[in-house]
A and B are shown apart, each in its own frame.
Chain A
Amino acid sequence: MNRMVWWLTEKLALLLNPDERNAVLGDLAETRTLAIQGFMELCGLVARRQAALWRKCVLQCAMGIAVCTVLCFLFVSKIYGYLAASLAAILIPVLGHISYSMPRHPFSIDARLALLGGLFLASPFVLWRFWLTASPPAMRHKIRYEWPFVALMTALLFAGGVFAFQVVLPQLLRLIISLSSGPPMITINESWNLAIATVAGVGLLFEAPGLCFLLYLKLSGAPTQSVINPSR
Chain B
Amino acid sequence: MIGEFEYLMLAACARLGDQAYGAAIRRQIESSTGRGCSLGALYTTLDRLEAKGLIRTWMGEATPQRGGRPKRMVSLTAKGIREATTFYTTIARASRGLEWEAKPAKG
Chain A interfacial positions (CB closer than 8 Å to B): 19-20, 22-31, 41-42, 44-45, 47-49, 52
Contact = CB atoms under 8 A, between A and B. Distances in A.
Given A30-B66, A31-B23, A22 B39 contact: no
A130 B22 CA distance: 31
B65 A23 contact: no
12 contacts: A23-B21, A23-B43, A27-B26, A29-B69, A30-B23, A30-B65, A31-B27, A41-B39, A41-B40, A44-B40, A45-B38, A49-B44
B56 interface: no
Contacts, number: 65
A150 B44 CA distance: 32
B34 interface: no
Interface of B: 21-23, 26-27, 38-40, 43-44, 59, 62-63, 65-67, 69-72
Nearest to B72: A23
A26 B40 contact: no
Nearest to B25: A27
B67 to A, nearest CB: 4
A22 B59 contact: yes
A26 B43 contact: no
Contacts of B22: 23-24, 26-27
A34 to B, nearest CB: 14
Contact of B67 (A29, A41, A48): A29
A19 B66 CA distance: 14
Contacts of B67: 25-26, 29
B44 A48 contact: yes
Contact of A29 (B26, B40, B65): B65
In order of increasing CB-CB distance, the 7 nearest A-B pairs are A26-B69, A44-B40, A26-B66, A23-B72, A29-B67, A45-B40, A27-B23
Given A41-B39, A41-B40, 10 more contacts: A22-B70, A23-B59, A23-B72, A25-B67, A26-B62, A26-B71, A27-B26, A27-B66, A29-B66, A47-B40
